[in-house]
Chain A
Amino acid sequence: MNDMTNKWIGQRTIRPDGADKVTGRAQYSADFAMPGMIHAKMLRSPHAHARIRGIDTSKAEALPGVKAVVTAKDVVDFPLDKSVMLGIQDMRWMCRNVMAREKALFHGHPVAAVAAINEEVAAAACALIEVDYEVLPHVIEIEDAIKPDAPILHEWNTFEGKPSNIAGTMVLKTGDVEKGFAEADVVIERTFTSRPVHQGYIEPHACTVSYAADGRVTIWSSSQGQFMVRAMTSLLTGVPQSNIRAIPAEIGGGFGAKTIVYLEPIAVLLSKKSGRPVKMVMTREEVQRATGPAPGSLSTVKIGAKKDGSIVAAQGTFYLQAGGLPGSPLRGPVGCSFAAYAIPNVLSVGYDVVSNRSKVAAYRAPGAPLGAFATECVLDEIAEKLGLDPLEMRLKNSAKAGDKAIYGPVFGEVTFKETVESILHHPHYKAPLDKNPAPGVKRGRGVASGFWYNAGGESSVQVNITEDGNVVVTTGHPDVGGSRASIANVVAELLGIDHSRVSVLIGDTMTIGFSNLTGGSRVTFASAMVATASTEKVIGQLKERAGKIWGIDAEAIKWEDGMALPAGDNAGKFPPLSLKELAAKANEMGGPIGTQVQLNTTGADPGFATHCVDVEVDVDLGIVRVLRYTAAQDVGRALHPGYVEGQIQGGVVQGIGWALSEEYLYDKNGRVDNASFLDYRMPVCSDVPMIDPVVIEIPNPKHPQGVRGVGEAPIVPPLAAIANAVHDALGKRFYALPMSPPRVSERLEQP
């Protein structure tokens, strides 16, 4: 399994979809067109908070060239008093997010949509729609939203008996924290804030939809799950799932935010009304205003430790910004913050706070980076106070196999220590750092760790042998970053054939069985598992066919290097039969060769990461630059090391943006002030150094190749690692993100 004799697993093969992607041929969501297609635009609320008293669309409908207008009354309603869940999404909020119902809850909230002969006419018609708004006081920040006299977004929602913007809570508890803190030699409690950040995928949301005369619907769109698109569209339009063919386009980044729909159901309704295929493409401004982001946070973490560094108690209180509708990822900070550590007394509480911002969507390890920011910074402070090396302190407190995780299960393997040790012994951590390289320039080093659950879940695959003896694999998961390459490596390895003979494609909802979202760091884990099972079945079929040809039992045949061979001397002497030869004889020997496997996969062990970063601060300008970054993670097994490293490097740089430059800015009317890539500052190439990934491979015993999830853990440590490094440089702790130049300057002026 995990040995050096592998020919393809662990190789940096060329991805099956590669040539299309470097030549501009790959079709992303906005690249589709249909004959007779018309174009749609969304009318969005100009107000942060307003009751919708009425909508008059008559003038828009009368405009020449307009083919259909849709408002909330066309969308299936999910009444407020009854929750209808699809995975983790509550359809009450989804139906109100795709189209405002009683109220517009944020600036940019859709209130109507128009389809017309072109985008210009559709936009002109949107301007003719008369919405009768009763503008209400708005609230943006968590601190304001939880005040007793705050404007209430949802009057029906109560907390502790009163109308409230706290829409949900989550509590995890073990031991008795009061008792624990009483036993501690040192206790540190700090409060941290962070701002919402956008996932920042370069491809805006887009779809092309056809509602045919017989009620059958075809959807081309990019998402992290075509089956999610089908299910949500069905629920929001009333079209049965069996009538919806959701075809996954290539996806230009999602990072969690494309696990829900924004456009598809609306485009279906417009197509139905107009009788024409409808294309809908968001502008970047719409993406920034109305999709994503990850929540902002207000967290208080208190940790108590003994003199020797052993942690005796930890308490976390995490307020997350849900946006206009409930549903922030509480399980991220509440469950992950303390999970890597064996702590006898823990109380971890989360609050889901609504305010007049766009509804949050998942973003890479949803919520976990916010918890780690607080926890890992407090740990750093404790280590400093006790005079301990921060990594040694983490080693001392690492959770072990058999410990009960705070979020429920008993840990199997825990490979946290290995990530800490690999940084502890890394040349980066040992390298001397000149802390005062020049006047006005300070340097510092910081470390932090992170935890993410990882996931398994439903996955379907087909492995078919072509008549000329090659292989086509169909999976149900959109490929966000090279998963096709990993699957091809596994199938080529098992079949013992050249990698180039395996094609991997993503099926649509009518051609492949149900497969859950590409998210949760689960796709390589789950799809390699089903691809293995399916390929093993195919090998069984191939042996049977060889057995028929030779007149011996399939049991007496082995499969090696792409050929069937007699298993031993007793089986008889026959010349080997290759995959090509067996494929050529398939039909006379029993029919086509191929299998399908559908599983609810289990056994995804959690992911651990430990990072080390050097920063340089320009004291006069307040600019923090990352000089060197090393990120260690246990990935179980890297099926394709290039794309595993890429996940780590990409996650880290997103974390750097989160820590240093990215944030939503609002004006006094509650409108997003920086809805563009110019003003919403994501890291560019010249902002960052090389990111050194330390890929640790301790095989997951519950996976045929040993895979663990990879994609999410890398974004968990950077916020704290960078804050700790800035502290090392300046001697001042930062409790608020981003550490952007104005804030750094401001902090430097404080005592």
Chain B
Amino acid sequence: MSKIHVSTSVNGEPVEFLCDASASMLDALRGPLGLTGTKEGCGTGDCGACSITVDGRLVCACLMLAVESEGHEIATIEGMAQGETLHPLQRKFLEMAALQCGICTPGVLISARALLEKNPDPTEEEVRFGLAGNLCRCTGYDKIVRAVLETAAEMRETVR
């Protein structure tokens, strides 16, 4: 079976790749595109470790076909920091020990960013439901939720 040619944009840069019709976006990111920051925890959309955004919408990369990215804007963890400057969420996660093993962290950060873009002033409950699609087995979520709430407060402060 011949491969399909896909042109898309990843983290603001135009990219092209070849893939099988059956390949998931996660396969494409981790394979031909070499972006292994997006993790595979289950491959069935249940753990959120492969969270990315497509035109700003939160998606599990394992549930999307690679060919569906044609002409869209994909954002992954590798594009979250600006050069040496971490995104406020990334910085806060480090300051508040909101990661232990770190395998869930890329997906959690992408989900948290998507949440704060929609809702810059979430309650604890809104954060918990906003991140309910991201499994973390290490932290018990406490420090993750706190870090997201604190980042939100800080970002609102900066905007003001």
Contact = CB atoms under 8 A, between A and B. Distances in A.
Interface of A: 12, 14-15, 17-19, 21-28, 30-31, 199-204, 250-255, 283-284, 480-482, 640, 642-643, 645-647, 649-654, 676-678, 682-686, 688, 690-691
Given A23-B80, A646-B143, A650-B139, 17 more contacts: A18-B94, A22-B99, A24-B78, A25-B37, A201-B101, A202-B104, A250-B101, A252-B102, A252-B104, A254-B101, A284-B46, A284-B47, A643-B100, A649-B141, A677-B42, A682-B135, A685-B129
B25 interface: no
B142 A684 contact: no
A492 B17 CA distance: 47
A27 B34 CA distance: 12
Contact of B102 (A26, A688, A691): A26
Nearest to A31: B36
B131 to A, nearest CB: 4
Given A12-B95, A649-B143, A284 B41 contact: yes
Contacts of A203: 39, 41, 101, 103
B129 to A, nearest CB: 5
Given A24-B77, A642-B143, A685-B144, A283 B43 contact: yes
B44 A22 contact: no
11 contacts: A14-B94, A15-B97, A23-B77, A23-B78, A24-B77, A201-B103, A203-B101, A252-B102, A253-B100, A482-B100, A649-B140
B36 A252 contact: no
B144 to A, nearest CB: 7
A676 B135 CA distance: 13
Nearest to B34: A33
A59 B84 CA distance: 54
B49 interface: yes
B39 A686 contact: no
Nearest to B76: A24
B61 to A, nearest CB: 12
Contacts of B41: 202-204, 252, 284, 677
B145 A24 contact: no
A649 B101 contact: no
B97 A642 contact: yes
A658 to B, nearest CB: 12
B151 interface: no
Describe B's contact surface by its main secondary structure. loop
B33 to A, nearest CB: 12
Contacts of A651: 140
A24 B106 contact: yes
Interface in B54-79: 76-78
Interface in B84-115: 86, 90, 93-97, 99-106, 109
A479 to B, nearest CB: 9
Residue of B38, B78, B103, B132 contacting most chain A CB atoms (<10 Å): B103
B160 interface: no
A253 B138 contact: yes
B37 A24 contact: yes
A639 to B, nearest CB: 12
Contacts of A650: 100, 137-140
B93 to A, nearest CB: 6
Contacts of B30: 30-31
Contacts of B42: 284, 676-677
A73 to B, nearest CB: 32
Contacts of B24: none
Contacts of B134: 684-685
A678 B44 CA distance: 8
A251 B101 CA distance: 6
A710 B117 CA distance: 37
A98 B21 CA distance: 34
6 A-B pairs with least C-beta separation:
A24-B37, A252-B103, A642-B97, A653-B140, A481-B100, A21-B102
Contacts of B36: 24, 27, 30-31
B141 A19 contact: no
A654 B139 CA distance: 9
Contacts of B129: 685-686
Contacts of A684: 132-135
B81 A23 contact: yes
Contacts of A653: 139-141
A19 B93 CA distance: 10
Contacts of A251: 101
Q: B39, B78, B96, B100: which has the most chain A beta carbons within 10 Å?
A: B100
Contact of A677 (B44, B80, B93, B140): B44
B37 A643 contact: no
Contact of B100 (A200, A480, A683): A480
B49 A202 contact: yes
Interface string B18-41: 000000000000100001111111
B78 A253 contact: no
A691 B128 CA distance: 14
B93 A253 contact: no
B10 interface: no
Contacts of A204: 40-41
B136 interface: yes
> Which of B42, B96, B138, B145 is packed against the most chain A CB atoms within 10 Å?
B138
Contacts of A690: 124, 142, 145-146
A690 B141 CA distance: 8
Contacts of A200: 135, 137
A688 B132 CA distance: 10
B97 A646 contact: yes
A205 to B, nearest CB: 12
A22 B94 contact: yes
A252 B39 contact: yes
Contact of B128 (A14, A26, A481, A686): A686
Contact of A252 (B76, B78, B94, B101): B101
A233 to B, nearest CB: 23
Most chain A beta-carbon contacts within 10 A, residue among B36, B136, B141: B141
A211 B143 CA distance: 42
Contact of B137 (A23, A202, A283): A202
Most chain B beta carbons < 10 A, residue from A24, A26, A645: A24
B125 to A, nearest CB: 8
Contacts of A199: 137
Contacts of A682: 135, 137
Contacts of A31: 30, 36
Q: Which of B37, B97, B133 has its CB near the most chain A CB atoms (within 10 A)?
A: B97
Contacts of B78: 23-25
A201 B137 contact: yes
Contact of B90 (A23, A253, A482): A23
A199 B101 CA distance: 14
A676 B37 contact: no
Contacts of B97: 12, 15, 482, 640, 642-643, 645-646
Nearest to A28: B103
Residue with the greatest number of chain B CB neighbours at <10 A, chosen from A23, A27, A28: A23
A201 B104 CA distance: 10
B124 to A, nearest CB: 8
Given A284-B44, A685-B132, A649 B139 contact: yes
Given A22-B94, A690-B142, A676 B44 contact: yes
